[in-house]
Chain A
Amino acid sequence: MDLIWDGIREAFRLIFTGNGEVYEIVLLSLTVSGAATGMALVIGLSMASLLAFRAPPGRTLVLSFLNSGMALPPVVAGLVVAVMLWRTGPLGQLHLLYTPAAIVVAQAVIATPVVTALSAAALQTLHPRLRLQILALGASRWQAAWLLFREARLPLLAAVMAGFGAAISEVGATIMVGGNIKGSTRTLTSATVLEVQRGNFETAMALSFILLALVYAVNLYLTVLQQRRRAS
């Protein structure tokens, strides 16, 4: 029990004594996972709209791949991204390996199937003719997309939360493509792994508490957004 209390105490100390390194790690985790979720959203919502509203041939097959993609082992995603970004790999010219950008890509690869599959399911719950009705009201393509997303915002925000959760909780791929470099690519999860390996359980627990608090804060915000009374 002492270990847990020490961990909590250490967490508060790290947060409130203005530990620069911890702030840096928290900020990096948030920006990297936020950016990855953003990328996953752009790709996911476009694909989900296509799948839900255009009903392309092979939709069931694509959806089954995406649904399997939700269970994509992060290390596999990390390996693929690492090979792609490797100096001699197809995207080696970009020199992204061991940069925060590489982590964004890896986390986006993990979050995209989650966001896409859940968004497609969300949009498929809308009435099939609602899109036609909205277009008939005089909506442009973008206005129609916005209104349809707003109509499905409950399950869509659940998709965002799941995507963000998959991204920020990821560690294997993050270390593989980011390298866990202090001051550059160290995130809350990779730092926690490192501290455990070093036997610094208090610090590891402190970082974990911060991670949990962060995840809760983000999801609280999204949930409030989701459950907000319909604007009149």
Chain B
Amino acid sequence: MTRPKLGLRGVRVERSGRTILAVEELDVFPGEVLAVVGPNGAGKSTLVSLLAMLERPSAGEVLFDGEAVRGGLLAYRRRMAVVFQEALLLDTTVESNVGSGLALRGVPRAERERRVRRSLGRFGIESLARRSAHTLSGGEAQRTSLARALALEPEVLLLDEPFASLDEPTRRTLIDDLDRALSETGTTAVLVSHDRSEALRLGDRVAVLIDGRLRQVGQPSEVFAAPADEEVAAFLGVETIVPGLVRSLDEGLAVVEVGGGHVEAASTLPAGSEVLVCLRPEDVVVGPAAAPTAATSARNRLSAVVRRVVNTGPQVRVELDAGFPLVALITKQSLEELGLAEGSPVVASFKATAVHLIPRHAQRGGPSA
């Protein structure tokens, strides 16, 4: 197993007698993007502060390259970079801002200028180089902040809700640019967000933080399909999220290979795209396996086996195996009428328009790399 780049062991952070973060174990592996999701006030920013060596834990150890962090934190900080929700730019030009971290770290001028130029280009803000940072729009400012962080060529990039203050179109293009930058540079990153779609989009692994505790860490499909407990499920929303590959695209209908089978989805992503196939459990219709096939508009009809039935109040979550984990939400009445139990063969159907495809970058690093 690869040695983790960053790690926490038995860490606690206390403020005025209250424990606001308690993490037994967390590892960030070289080259991976770890997405930490959780509701507001879960301790996500404190986690970033710890990992960024901006504060020390009340107890426990922070590991860097497998070694416990000892002594001054400045040397560690100079190997990492942090992007906050607010761009927090200095009152100078865009290019000076992008070069500011390099200047603080004593990088020689020629090298600094080279890296600033490249980083400005990476985020498409060369034309803003001479502008005063305080005249930028929110999106431009956050681009500058990201460019400033990437110019440092950090060993670990920490992102604390970097897109939370942006409007939707800006957010989407900036996420694309960051995704590309991370893939191209192979930078190890930790993305903290309250938005699970960002975690899905960028994270190679997902960690769920609620009330200052890590509830679950794993592959996105694993975490979303099988939440560790009800609180995690409630925060994430139970969904089917499985990796797939677009095999063909014809007039807005994509055929996606998933777990040996095929799923049809309304999409514009070209063949060859790696995707996450997302499906809301309330969109999945469960029927008896032996029932005659009636003509419907549901493009997807998959044979499946019931793996688990979980009562969640008035509705029942049925976890199916259709060659890949598939979750359906049905009423108690339907459950009884269909006589579903573990091992029952069923047919799961859903419309192509109910399937949501999220494009994925090529696999970066990760614990098993």
The reply to whether A138 and B88 form a contact with Cβ atoms under 8 Å apart is no
Name the residue on B nearest A154 (C-beta): B91
Q: How many A-B residue pairs have CB under 8 A?
A: 56
Name the residue on B nearest A143 (C-beta): B104
The reply to whether B54 and A136 form a contact with Cβ atoms under 8 Å apart is yes
A139 at the interface (CB under 8 A from B): yes
Name the residue on B nearest A232 (C-beta): B93
Contacts of A134 in B (CB 8 A): 104
The reply to whether A230 and B92 form a contact with Cβ atoms under 8 Å apart is yes
The reply to whether A138 and B152 form a contact with Cβ atoms under 8 Å apart is yes
Q: In angstroms, how far is the closest chain A Cβ from the Cβ of B143?
A: 16
Name the residue on B nearest A136 (C-beta): B82
B280 at the interface (CB under 8 A from A): no
Number of interface residues of B (CB under 8 A): 27
**What string of 1s and 0s marks CB contacts (under 8 Å) between B72-94 and chain A?**
00100110111010101011110
The reply to whether A138 and B77 form a contact with Cβ atoms under 8 Å apart is yes
The reply to whether A137 and B101 form a contact with Cβ atoms under 8 Å apart is yes
Q: In angstroms, how far is the closest chain A Cβ from the Cβ of B154?
A: 10
> CA A145 – CA B81 in complex, angstroms?
19
A62 at the interface (CB under 8 A from B): no
Contacts of B82 in A (CB 8 A): 132-133, 136
Most buried by B among A132, A133, A143: A133
The reply to whether A139 and B86 form a contact with Cβ atoms under 8 Å apart is no
Contacts of A132 in B (CB 8 A): 49, 54, 82, 84
A64 at the interface (CB under 8 A from B): no
Contacts of B101 in A (CB 8 A): 137-138
**What string of 1s and 0s marks CB contacts (under 8 Å) between A184-214 and chain B?**
0000000000000000000000000000000
> CA A68 – CA B305 in complex, angstroms?
77
Contacts of A10 in B (CB 8 A): none
The reply to whether A230 and B86 form a contact with Cβ atoms under 8 Å apart is no
Contacts of A147 in B (CB 8 A): 90
Q: Identify which of residues 82-122 in chain B touch chain A, using a CB-to-CB cut-off of 8 Å.
A: 82, 84, 86, 88, 90-93, 95-96, 100-101, 104-105
Name the residue on A nearest B134 (C-beta): A230
The reply to whether B80 and A136 form a contact with Cβ atoms under 8 Å apart is yes
7 further interface pairs, Cβ-Cβ under 8 Å (given A137-B104, A137-B152): A129-B88, A132-B49, A137-B81, A137-B105, A138-B152, A143-B104, A232-B130
5 closest A-B pairs by beta carbon, nearest first, are A137-B101, A136-B82, A133-B88, A138-B78, A138-B105
